Structure formats: structure tokens, C-alpha cells
A and B are shown apart, each in its own frame.
Chain A
Amino acid sequence: MIVLIGGFILVIIGIWAMLAKKNIIRIIIGFSIVDTGIHLIIVALGYVKGATAPIIDTAVKMQSSVSTGMKLVTKVVDPVPSALVLTAIVIGLAVTALMLSFTIRLFKVHGSLNIDDYEELKW
């Protein structure tokens, strides 16, 4: 629960940073904060009460019988949100790098990091 609320607060802070800040690098930092908050929310949604990591080795007790087949005694968390977040972290890193290189190009061309100096797309 606390992870979910923390992620929620991070998303709100990041959206505020993206909207209110003028410096492009601060906007990118806001994007990264939203990214982290969403990761926390997804992981929190996959949590199961009192469960352990979904790696079925000797630490996870298993019960097998002929009639029902295999059954886990220890609870494990949902593996699907973990798998989503796993790839999303790396993709977020690459997308952040892409945005930063756009920033470097913008700074080389116009010599400014203030978003108000770029008026080509304003209407």
C-alpha cells in the first residue's frame, strides 16, 4: 500500500515538474520521476500478501501429489508486473538518453535550455 501511494505521489510530482519547469533538463528529470512512479505502481499492483519472489527454487516449498499434481505451499508474487517493469526500466533509460541527446542538439543549435526560447511549435 505504501509503495502504491509513494508511486502515486511521485507521478504527481513528476507531472508538476514537467508542466511548471522551464529548463529542458528539469523537464526530463520530471519525466524520469513519472517513470519511476509508474514502475512502483505496477510493482505494487502485482504484490500478493505475505508472498516471496517468484523464483521456484529450494526456498519455496512445494507439495506434489499424484491426484492434484504440483502445488506451491509458499505464496509467490505475480510475475507479470515484474516482467513488465524489468523491461520498462531499461527502455526508460534509453528514452531518457534519447531526450538528453535531443537537448544537446537543441543547445548546440540555439544555445539555450529554456523551453520558452523555442517558439516554433507555439500557436
Chain B
Amino acid sequence: MIKYLLIIVAVIGMAFMFYPLVEEYSVATGLNDLANTYVYGSVKDLNMPNTVTAVVVTYRGLDTLGEVTVLFLATAGVGFLLRRKRKNSETRRHGSEILQTGAAFMSPLIILLGVYIFSHGHLSPGGGFQGGVVIASGILLLVLARVDFKFSHGIIHFSESLSGVGYVIMGVLGLLLLGVSSFLDPRYLPMGEYLYLFSSGAVPVIYSFIGLKVGSELSSVIDSMQAGGCDQ
């Protein structure tokens, strides 16, 4: 009884804490200075239509590197906790005929869509994180459909490490070619033509590395959960 009372007190306390956020909220009618700098800088300096990508990859690129590291740590934790056991593929049913046929047809298309999303991240809504998740969902469909679907762990780990190292190398190249305080500055590659695929410097390359990394990491999460979860 006292426990429920405490829970109610805690919930009401949290509601009271958050309430000023709702009460003092008023819809903004214009951008603040920081957002203005980012929006205009993205078009003028970086030649990039998608300003969200400009913030994620360039202006706050170091934060994104940190986020990718957090993602890597979480994936490593999942892989550590759910180590693969032998003889585990017998306990699970096969997917139905419809699921198997549909997965065989759809999965390559879903993965292709993921590649499209992350390679066009600087032009259209999308980018590395979303494209990576779409790729992982294609892999998930394959894993659901076929019990005997096996990853090549070598390829997954190779693409994960390669994209991580590539991301850092692209950042360091900016540091080397453009001078100090330009880590992850993409302007050392040609800026290209506005609204074309090969534009805005190194951003498509960096975002493709992020997309590959997120996709392979989430695929290995799916694989660990499938392998570690079904042998009990």
C-alpha cells in the first residue's frame, strides 16, 4: 500500500516537474540565431539542401561520432551477453510459405532502399541512421523467414570495422587538408552542383559510412538476439 502511494507521489512529482515545459510553451514564429546560422550555412558553405544532415554530419559531427560509439558499445554488450551456442537452430519453426517467398522477393529491395536512403541523405529526408535501420529491417525479414539463414560474421564485422575506421579517416582527412579545428569538415572534396548526388563535399561518403555502420551493427544485434534467445 505504502509502495503504491510512493509511486503516485513520484509520478505526480515528475508531472509537476515537467509541467512548466507545457505551460510556458508557445509556438515559435521564427528561427533562432543558431538555427538561422545552420540553415544559411548549410546552403551557402556546404552546398547542401538538407540542413538536418548538415547539422548531424558537419556542424555537430563530433556528437554523431559519439552516438555511433554509443551504438557500438550497446551492440558489443548485446553480443557479449548473448553469446552464440552450438546446435540452436532446431528449436524454431520455419517461416510460412508466404513469409519465405515474400522475404526472398522483398529483402533485396528493402536493402537497396536502405542504400538509396543513406546515399541520398544530403538531398532528401533520410540519411545514414535511417538507411541503416532500413537495411537491418531487411535482414530481420530474412532471419524471420528462414531458420537456416546464416550470417557471414566475417563480412558483418569487416564492414562494421571498415565503416567505423572510414568515418574517422574522413574526419582526420579534413584535419590534415584544411588545417586545425576542421575535424569532420567535408569541404576538402569538390562541392559539386546544388541538388546533385555528387555534391556537398565529403558528406555523402561520411553518411554512407555511418549508414553501413548502423546497418551492420543492428544486423549483428538481430543475429545475436536470434541466436541467444532461442536455445532455452
Contacts and interface: CB of A to CB of B under 8 A. Distances in A.
Interface of A: 1, 4-5, 8, 11-12, 15-16, 19-20, 41, 44-45, 47-49, 53-58, 69-70, 72, 75-76, 78-80, 82-83, 86-87, 89-91, 93-95, 97-98, 100-102, 104-105, 107-108
A50 to B, nearest CB: 8
B51 A4 contact: no
A56 B31 CA distance: 15
Given A20-B7, A76-B39, A8 B22 contact: yes
A87 B56 contact: yes
Contacts of B29: 48-49
20 contacts: A4-B22, A8-B21, A11-B14, A11-B18, A19-B7, A20-B4, A47-B27, A55-B51, A57-B123, A58-B195, A82-B52, A83-B52, A87-B64, A90-B129, A90-B214, A93-B133, A94-B70, A101-B78, A104-B82, A108-B232
B55 A80 contact: yes
Nearest to A44: B25
A66 B121 CA distance: 31
Given A49-B29, A79-B55, A91-B70, A56 B11 contact: no
B34 interface: yes
B229 to A, nearest CB: 6
> Interface range on chain B: under 10, 10 to 19, 20 to 34, or 35 or more?
35 or more
Given A80-B34, A80-B35, A91-B67, A70 B129 contact: no
A19 to B, nearest CB: 5
A83 B55 contact: yes
B221 interface: yes
Given A4-B22, A48-B31, A98-B77, A79 B11 contact: no
Contacts of B74: 91, 94-95, 97-98
Given A11-B14, A48-B29, A87-B64, 13 more contacts: A4-B22, A12-B18, A16-B11, A19-B11, A48-B27, A79-B35, A79-B39, A83-B52, A86-B127, A86-B130, A90-B129, A91-B67, A101-B77
B7 A75 contact: no
Nearest to A12: B15
B14 A12 contact: yes
A84 B11 CA distance: 26
B163 interface: no
Contact of A89 (B4, B22, B129, B195): B129
Nearest to A111: B232
B218 interface: yes
A83 B60 contact: yes
A97 B54 contact: no
B169 to A, nearest CB: 21
A55 B71 contact: no
Contact of B51 (A56, A75, A89): A56
A54 B22 contact: no
Contact of A101 (B22, B38, B81, B127): B81
B129 A86 contact: yes
